[in-house]
Amino acid sequence: MSEVYSTIEKNKNRLNLDPNQAIWLFGYGSIIFKVDFEYLEAKKAYLNGFERRFWMASEDHRGTPESPGRVLTLQERRQAKCFGMAYRIDHKVLDALDLREQNGYLRYLKSVSFADGSAHDALVYIGDKTTRIYQEEHDVKTLAELIFNSVGPSGQNKDYVYELAQALRDLNEPDEYIFELEACLRKLEEIE
């Protein structure tokens, strides 16, 4: 059985954040539809130069060490634009977020843009490419089969995709990759 690759301590020392200042957090995955933390303000936002990918093995949320599921990370791509939600949070919320994102995610500060044209630096959790749990899979059908069969403490892996797809529809922010993956999963459900 493998152990969680914890990034909690690494993240605490990673960025020089002022504990007395509220900061923006950019969510591009489950943080869009599962907001289990206090925030001061929430806005639709986007991050230029990145796209979502289910390239992080999940042994602690959407899978197990024996049968890892997949969760999102961001992949750099020049012309990409990743829509999500930005939350202005107090520094005290970071400990809970670091725990939630502990399995292979590192904190970064990236400039996010808002609908009104303004921009602000925001904290973004991005998967650490140097760890064994970072696993690129470019074939969406292969990825869908893996996700379809994975279950972990946070539930069925496919529900993560379904909830995110619906949240993006509710925000009126389509994501071709997520919608294609969702369609592949729905086809697998029809076969079963």
Residues marked as catalytic = 101
- The amino acid sitting at 36 is D
Say which residues have a Cβ less than 8 Å from residue 31's Cβ, sequence separation at least 6: 25, 84, 85, 87
**End-to-end Cα spacing for the chain:** 29
R_g over Cα of the chain: 16
User: Residue 65's closest CA among 153, 192, 163?
Assistant: 153
C-alpha 177, offset from chain centre: 14
